[in-house]
Each structure stands twice: as C-alpha cells, then as structure tokens.
Structure 1
Amino acid sequence: MEQLPTSPSELLKYCKDKGIDYVDVRFTDMLGMMHHFTMHINAMDESDFTEGLGFDGSSIRGWKAINESDMLAVLDASSAYIDPFFEKKTLAVIADIYEPGDTPTEYARSPRTILKRAVEYMKSTGVADQVFFGPEAEFFIFSDVRFDQETNSGFYFIDSIDARWNMGSDEGPNLGFKMRTKEGYFPLPPNDHFQDLRGEMLAMLEKMGIPTEKHHHEVSSAGQAEINFKLDEAPRIADKLQLYKYVVKNVARKHGFSATFMPKPLFGDNGTGMHTHQSLWKDGKNLFAGKGYANMSDMAMNYIAGILTHGPALLSFTNPTTNSYKRLVPGFEAPVNLVYSARNRSASIRIPIAVHGDKARRIEFRTPDAACNPYLAFAAMLMAGL
C-alpha cells in the first residue's frame, strides 16, 4: 500500500497531484454508527485540520439539542486512506469532534475522545504507556434478508446459500454441499461457498493498510465468517475495526450479499462475537508476561480481576443490544461463566497458551460482540482492568 502523507499541507497537495477531487469526513456516534459528509478538494485548506468543519450536532443521536447544535469536525491527517468503493476518487479522513468557541475544545461525548482520554489516564498512572487490543469480529454473510413490522403483520426472512435449510431447495439445480448445524468450522470448498469473497475482503484490508492474519468459515453453516487482523494500540485499533466493518459490508454488497455483525441472527445456531485480546506494555515490555498461572504476571491477574469485578457493568458497553444476550447462552461456545481460564472457551476471560514468547502473552475477553461501539468498549475494558 502507498504510504499517505500525514501532515495536512502534504496531504492536500497529494490529493491535487493525484487528481483526488473529494475528501470524505467520517466520525462515529455514541451507538457506534459511522457518519460522513463529502467536501470538494477546492473547498478545503489546512485550517480544516486545526479549526474544523461545521455540522449539525443535533441530528446525531445522543449529542446535542437543537438550541446548541453547532459542532466541529477536526480532521486527523494521520487517519487518511483512499476509499476503494466510491465511484469518484475520494480520500477518507477520520475526524475528532469539537465544541465551537473562541478556543474549541474536544467534545466530551465523542467516543474517539473518550478512548483517547482513557489511554491518557493509563499513561498518567505510570502503570503502562501502551495498551494493545486485538478484536476478532465475526459476521454472517446472507444472500437474502427481508423483514417488516407493521400494524397488521410482522415477519423476517433470512437466507444463505450454504445454510442447512437449503439442502432440499430447488436451486436449478441444487448441487448440494450444504453444511449441517455446527459443521461450519474450517470446511474446504465446495462446502465453503465464501472462500473467494472473504479473500477479497482480506485483500482489500491489506490494500488499505490493515495488516491481516487469516480468514475462515466459522461454526454456523449459514455463511458465518471471521477475518483476523493484527492487534494495534488504542485508539488506532478502534479506527481499524470501524474500517474493517465498512470493508466487509461493502465487499459483500458488491457481490449481492449482505454482511451483518448482529450477535445472534439465527435461533439454534452459534452467534457471532468479538473476542478481544488485550495487553499492557511499558518501555517496550509486555507487562502481562510472567511466571504465574499460564505464564502470566501479577499485573495481568490484577487486570483480569478488574474485568471480572466490573463485568456486569462492562457488558453495557461491550454487549449493548437486547440481541447480544441471545448469544450469551450455554451450548453454542459462548462465554457464560464470569471466570478466567487458560483454555476453557466458556470462560469470560481465556488466557491463550498456544503462543510464542513473552511478547504474545495476553488475555482474551470473550464476551464482547461487534454490535458495540469499539471506542467506548475498549475504553471501558481498559478502565475496568486498571
């Protein structure tokens, strides 16, 4: 991937040199939804990266009342990337949200600001100077999604080409290769219908500067999938997770499919979680590596204790929807026990032991799902652990 400039002046010059006419400004609201508006390059200058661009904050859920609606989106040049889906060549930039005034200040309800402040607090304690997160956000790929709820009727209909319920469908002809319930983990094609689609998603992430590790079919037969990308520091990892979801959904849509990160779309089959690996570092050293249980340090065990102590409250950030709790039930490999374990995947916190060296020592909080706002979820996990 071509490395983009990180200074405002060089970034704007790059756009003009490369014939990029549009800049798409993006930010995330309290519920985790990304918003955007698009500027022509001729309407932009360096002040947009310091003084910001105005927008109506009262139209963003949970932010401002109509009598105090003016807000500023201050562009972060280091977050820029070329959007691969827009027809017109467009540079996308993530913005921090500010309150207007003689001296604009960061908006306290901006999720990205909240995560930044959590990291700053961690550094101020002297406990650590870096926190790394590695989310594993699973998703489903559906070929048909229809639902409605009206005064006189209500229904939903979901379909997937490799789902078990299509074993007897007339597909003109039906070539078979449908998987039974819980047989979706790691099958080869032709049972795995989405090998190439996931591969395109992974390649797109690499092209956009997100280093990846692997992709595979997950346990549920109905197109359940997972793509792993490498861990990173907060808040950058939350930016990457939002971009990951954007890529997955748009690549699927390009090929006539619908991708969803809904935690439990199918009754009686596995749900989709967002197992979150995490570790604290200081002076380049992994503070979770030690000689205790599962080769973990006392600090790691204290961090685990914080997550477990605040577990019930933490779930309001990591599992924020009603549907989230349809997933957290026994029998579907979901974490249902508020405990830690070196290997047990029913534990809320698993300590991976199949790792290489101290640098890879970490904990895995298995409860979260990708319906969460990643900025708020990572901030909450960090503060609970501290």
Structure 2
Amino acid sequence: MSVQKVLDTIKEKGIEWVDFRFTDIGGKSHHLSVPAVEVEAETFETGVAFDGSSITGFRGIEESDMVMMPDTDSAFVDPFTAHPTLVLLCDIYTPDGVRYDRDPRSIAVKAEEYLKTTGLGTDAYFAPESEFFIFDDVRYESGMNKSFYEVDSEEAAWNTGRKEEGGNLAFKTGVKGGYFPVAPTDTQQDIRSEMCRLLQEAGLRIERHHHEVATAGQGEINFRFSTLTKTADNLQKYKYIVQNVARQYGKVATFMPKPLFGDNGSGMHVHQSIFNDGNPLFYEKGAYANLSQMAIYYIGGILHHAPSLIALTNPSTNSFKRLVPGYEAPVNLVFSKGNRSAAVRIPIAAVTPKGCRIEFRTPDSTANPYLAFAAMLLAGLDGIKNKIDPTALGYGPLDKNIYELSDEEKKEIRSVPGSLEEALDALEANHSFLTESGVFTEDFIANFIELKRAEAKAVAIRVHPHEYSLYFGV
C-alpha cells in the first residue's frame, strides 16, 4: 500500500485517529495515537517521535529520543475503537536516521535482507500455529505473605459438580478431551468465528479454527503463511484481535504456554520454507519425506542450534512448564515425518511442492515473533551453509512414538534445555550464527540475556505455594 493509498483510506473510511505501534523486546505492542488530520505524506518521511527510555530494554534517559517509521503495508482499521482508528506498524530509528539495532521488527527485516545476500533464496515463508486459552475468570497475586493463581472456565473438567444459578448444564471438556468436539461441549465456536471475521478484515487469510486438546477453553486459529516480517506482523494482529474479541464476550484470552497443571499447554508450531523467485527449494520428490538436501541441512541447523535458539523461541520461565514429556510437548531434538513427538516434524499429508515445509514444534507464543522467526531462519541458513547433516549428528530421522521407546533408546536422544536459565546459558555460549550476518548484534544478545535472567531470578527467589504442601510440616 502506498502512502497516498493510506491517506485516501483515512478519508474514505472517516478515520479520526492513526495509531502508530511498535513491538518491544519482550514482544508486547505499544502505541501512540495521532489525530488523522495531522497525518500527512511528510509524516511517513519524518516518522513519529517517542521516548525510548520508558520502554524496557531500549535506551537510557540520556539518549531517549527515538522515531517510529510506519510501514504502509501493515495498515488495518482497528475493529475495537469507538472512534475510527487506522493502525500502522512501525520500525524504530534513532534521530539521525539509523535503524535501531534493538528494534525487533528491524531485526526481522534485516534477516530477510540477509537471506537475499546469501544467494540461497529470495524469500523465507513462515506460518505459526499459535494456541491460546479462553477463560471466564482469572485471578492471581504474588506478595510477601501470599501467592496464588486461580482460573476458571465454564467448560472446564473441574466444573462437572459445580452448582450454578439455573443449574449446571454439563457437557464439560475432559482433560485432554478437547480435540475437537462439537457443541454443546465446544462452547466457543461463535467466539472463534468472530475472531476469524475480524482477522480477515485486518488482512489475514484464515484457513481454519478449532478447539484444542486441553480442557477449559483451549483453541487455535490457523492463518495463511507469508514472508517472515509479514507473518510476524500478522501474529501481532492475531494476538491483539483474539484478546480483544474475548474481552468483548466477557472472557479473557491468554497465550501463556502452561496456565494449567496436568493438561496440554499452548505451543506455537512454526512451519517454514525457502523459495527462490517463486520456486520452492525444500521439495525433492522421492527423497525422505520429499525433502530436498537443502531442507535437511536447514533442519540440521535448527536442531544443532536448538539449545540456544530456544532462549528466543521459548523465552519465559513458564515455557519450561510446557516442555516436559507426556503432553505432546516436543522436547526431543530429532526430526521425523508426521511424528508430533519430535521437535522438527515434516508434514506429509496433502503436501504439494510449494507446500513442502518443515515444522519446528518447540516454540510458544511468549516468543517475540520478529526475533524468533529471524533466529530460526539464521539457524537454518547456518545449517545450509555449513552442510550440517542432522542424521550424521544423531538427530534422526526417528519415525517412532518417542514416548513409547525404552529407557535405553531414550538415552540416545538429546532434549531441549530444562529451564530458561539453561537456555540463556546456551545462547550466551553459542550465538555467532545470529551475529555473524549482522542481523543480531552482540549488544542485543547481551541485553536480551540480561533482561531474561532478571525474569528467571524473579521467579526463582519467590516462595511457591506447592512448597507449603511439600515442606511446611517438616
């Protein structure tokens, strides 16, 4: 979309406010609204100023001036505002016109630019499957003398015996029983359909939606793949619309990986492939899973760098409550065709040459999509450039249910890090595949590790309620 098209849209749709948004290092969106009458062609050349010192992990107060530069192709009309508002996603620049090296979206853009310079391909395509829960009530507190959380859902397994005004209407979703029953067990068909309608209006191509495996309102909406930065933009729109539609229905949506104990968590399986001027490069008919040698090396890069990569694809302490065996969690660093217990799966059902892709199943939606997608691409490209053969390194293929293997067989399989701290240690020790290209800087990696270690420490030093069950009577 051209600048003139954006200005025409403002007039045609009676837009009153233009909302300039960017994403911080942790993946949260921030915004600043400008009266539409003040937005001119010059705005897209000069950008919009803001205080970077108030954003965690950005700049100090002595160098706080920063500039948002809007991307006209990201424009969409906000469906939730009473006053007509047009949203524009932005890259961050310093006042002297230099792209800010801690801006996640700029890192994604640089990753795409780097791919072109390698001569390996022209476009990297990504498609995330981002799961979420829709709850009816969420309460939590963490203080000096108390700590608790409690969530509730009208379709939760624990509510089969609850007395409600007007009676309990039954049809609750059992533990691991949510994939994917019809109504009345699935109470959220209309909510997801409304989410999809607004996502389509925002420019996303919706492929399907359904209830997911867990009890208590777990769902998933799949949208069409696109190029790296565009897909990250779409995921930010996706989370915004999902959370606000839930709120309109008097409910709350969360992308937290493991909000419930004892049932499946929410992952973000990421499908990815490389094309060259419209030609798919991951397909080779008759080879293992119809994968080209380039795709195999790409998988090698993902699995070889997975311990450090996971610091960016699963960057929360809660991520590692999901990454435990037994809940379809892909903790095993192997690849396989069609096998959902492997970290890397190659879809084989109804796949065309252009649809041939690899699926990294470990990530979750606490990841900043701009950082996670860029890091995955760089890991894969490193595998291609250095011909990292995953089979030679013991990463498979393994076309068996890993959870049914003997203990001796399981010993041969490497696993993901067991905690955020372990993943950060791995990132600290191995990140040259991210920085050699100039896509990530040493400063960014050090800053990211510092921010995430602070989060890990904040959780580690707090008393856990279950410790009272274990130790109070000692």
1:24 to 2:19 alignment: yes
Which position in structure 2 is the counterpart of 1:150?
143
> For residues 324 and 193 of structure 2, what CA distance do their matches in structure 1 show?
31
C-alpha displacement of 1:14 = 2.9
Which position in structure 2 is the counterpart of 1:269?
263
Alignment partner of 2:301: what SS? helix
Given that residues 275 and 368 in structure 1 are in contact (C-alpha distance below 8 angstroms), is that contact kept between their aligned partners in structure 2? yes
> For residues 335 and 290 of structure 2, what CA distance do their matches in structure 1 show?
14
Which position in structure 1 is the counterpart of 2:58?
63
> For residues 67 and 114 of structure 2, what CA distance do their matches in structure 1 show?
25
Compare the two structures and name the one with the higher strand fraction. Answer: 1
1:294-333 correspondence to structure 2 within 5 Å: 294-333=289-328
CA deviations 1:351-376 (Å, max 9, x no partner) are: 00102321111000000000000000
1:178 to 2:203 alignment: no
C-alpha displacement of 1:44 = 1.8
Q: Which amino acid aligns with 1:57?
A: G
1:202-241 correspondence to structure 2 within 5 Å: 202-241=196-235
C-alpha displacement of 1:203 = 1.2
CA deviations 1:273-313 (Å, max 9, x no partner) are: 00000000012111000132111000000000000010000
Alignment partner of 1:359: what SS? coil
C-alpha displacement of 1:149 = 1.4
Q: Which amino acid aligns with 1:126?
A: G
Alignment partner of 2:133: what SS? strand
In structure 2, the CA distance between the partners of 1:303 and 1:57, relative to structure 1 (3 Å rule), is: same
Alignment partner of 1:50: what SS? helix
> For residues 205 and 8 of structure 2, what CA distance do their matches in structure 1 show?
27
C-alpha displacement of 1:10 = 3.4
> For residues 258 and 340 of structure 1, what CA distance do their matches in structure 2 show?
35
Out of 259, 275, 280, the residue aligned to residue 274 of structure 2 is 280
Alignment partner of 2:101: what SS? coil
Given that residues 50 and 75 in structure 1 are in contact (C-alpha distance below 8 angstroms), is that contact kept between their aligned partners in structure 2? no
CA deviations 1:64-94 (Å, max 9, x no partner) are: 0000000001111121111000110011111
Out of 342, 345, 350, the residue aligned to residue 355 of structure 1 is 350
Give aligned pairs, total: 379
Out of 155, 159, 163, the residue aligned to residue 162 of structure 1 is 155
CA deviations 1:219-270 (Å, max 9, x no partner) are: 1011000000011111101000000000000000001100000000001000
Out of 115, 127, 140, the residue aligned to residue 122 of structure 1 is 115
Which position in structure 1 is the counterpart of 2:10?
15
> For residues 379 and 279 of structure 2, what CA distance do their matches in structure 1 show?
21
| TM-score, scaled to structure 2 | 0.79
Q: Which amino acid aligns with 2:377?
A: L
CA deviations 1:34-60 (Å, max 9, x no partner) are: 000100012222122111111000001
1:252 to 2:246 alignment: yes
Higher mean C-alpha deviation, range 278-287 or range 131-140: 278-287
Given that residues 249 and 258 in structure 1 are in contact (C-alpha distance below 8 angstroms), is that contact kept between their aligned partners in structure 2? yes
C-alpha displacement of 1:151 = 2.1
C-alpha displacement of 1:153 = 1.7
In structure 2, the CA distance between the partners of 1:17 and 1:229, relative to structure 1 (3 Å rule), is: closer
C-alpha displacement of 1:319 = 0.2
Alignment partner of 2:376: what SS? helix
Q: Detail structure 1 runs of 4+ shifted over 6 Å in the superposition.
A: none
Alignment partner of 1:11: what SS? helix
Compare the two structures and name the one with the higher helix fraction. Answer: 2
Alignment partner of 2:256: what SS? coil
Which position in structure 1 is the counterpart of 2:361?
366
> For residues 326 and 151 of structure 1, what CA distance do their matches in structure 2 show?
23
In structure 2, the CA distance between the partners of 1:17 and 1:175, relative to structure 1 (3 Å rule), is: closer
1:136 to 2:111 alignment: no
Q: Which runs of 5+ in 1 are unaligned?
A: 1-5
Which position in structure 1 is the counterpart of 2:72?
77
Alignment partner of 2:272: what SS? strand
Q: Which amino acid aligns with 1:155?
A: F
Alignment partner of 2:296: what SS? helix
Given that residues 114 and 375 in structure 1 are in contact (C-alpha distance below 8 angstroms), is that contact kept between their aligned partners in structure 2? yes
Given that residues 355 and 361 in structure 1 are in contact (C-alpha distance below 8 angstroms), is that contact kept between their aligned partners in structure 2? no
Alignment partner of 2:240: what SS? helix
Alignment partner of 1:136: what SS? strand
Q: Which amino acid aligns with 2:120?
A: V
> For residues 352 and 141 of structure 2, what CA distance do their matches in structure 1 show?
52
> For residues 19 and 265 of structure 1, what CA distance do their matches in structure 2 show?
41
> For residues 305 and 94 of structure 2, what CA distance do their matches in structure 1 show?
31
> For residues 179 and 374 of structure 1, what CA distance do their matches in structure 2 show?
31
Which position in structure 2 is the counterpart of 1:3?
none
> For residues 59 and 233 of structure 2, what CA distance do their matches in structure 1 show?
23
Out of 336, 341, 346, the residue aligned to residue 341 of structure 1 is 336
> For residues 345 and 129 of structure 1, what CA distance do their matches in structure 2 show?
29
Q: Which runs of 5+ in 2 are unaligned?
A: 382-474
CA deviations 1:109-138 (Å, max 9, x no partner) are: 111110111111111010010100010000
| TM-score, scaled to structure 1 | 0.97
Q: Which amino acid aligns with 2:379?
A: A
Alignment partner of 2:169: what SS? coil
> For residues 334 and 347 of structure 1, what CA distance do their matches in structure 2 show?
9
